Amino acid sequence: MDIVDNMEQAGQSWDDAEKLDLATIDRIERGLEDIGRALSLMDEGSYGLCEVCGAPIEPLILEEEPTSMNCSIHGGSIHGEREAGDG
Ligand SMILES: [Zn+2]
């Protein structure tokens, strides 16, 4: 039985997995912060309103980024609609 050998291999891949996890967890935590903010806005009844001007955020923006806090004028971006048609 090569249990020790197996454990060494597992140790190596665990090290890699840990690094990956830290980056992933960092990203998830930031995402959770956004979601937390969005949820508290839902509680207040102001979810979907631009935090700058108070106008309803375009549905397309919320579709792309449900945690967006800004209308298209104030930083919200619609990724799928990139300067489409200028004439
Ligand atoms: Zn706005």
pTM, full prediction: 0.58
User: For residue 5, what pLDDT is reported?
Assistant: 64
Higher per-residue confidence, 13 vs 42: 42
| Cα 70 to ligand 1 centre (Å) | 5
Name the one residue in this structure whose structure tokens are 């935090």: 51
- Give the H or E element holding residue 30: helix 3-44
Identify the domain containing residue 55 by its residue range.
23-80
How many whole angstroms from 32 Cα to the centroid of ligand 1?
23
30 assigned to some structural domain: yes
Listed range (10-14, 29-33, 63-67, 73-77) with the worst mean pLDDT:
10-14
Q: How sure is the predictor about 87, in pLDDT bands with cuts at 50, 70 and 90?
A: very low
Q: From the CA of 28, how far away is ligand 1's center (Å)?
A: 26
CA distance 50 to 71: 5
Please indicate, yes or no, if residue 11 is contained in any of the structural domains.
no
Quote the CA–CA distance of 51 and 31 in Å, as a whole number.
18
Cα 29 to ligand 1 centroid, rounded to whole Å: 26
- Domains in the chain: how many in total? 1
Report the CATH number at residue 61: 1.20.120.910
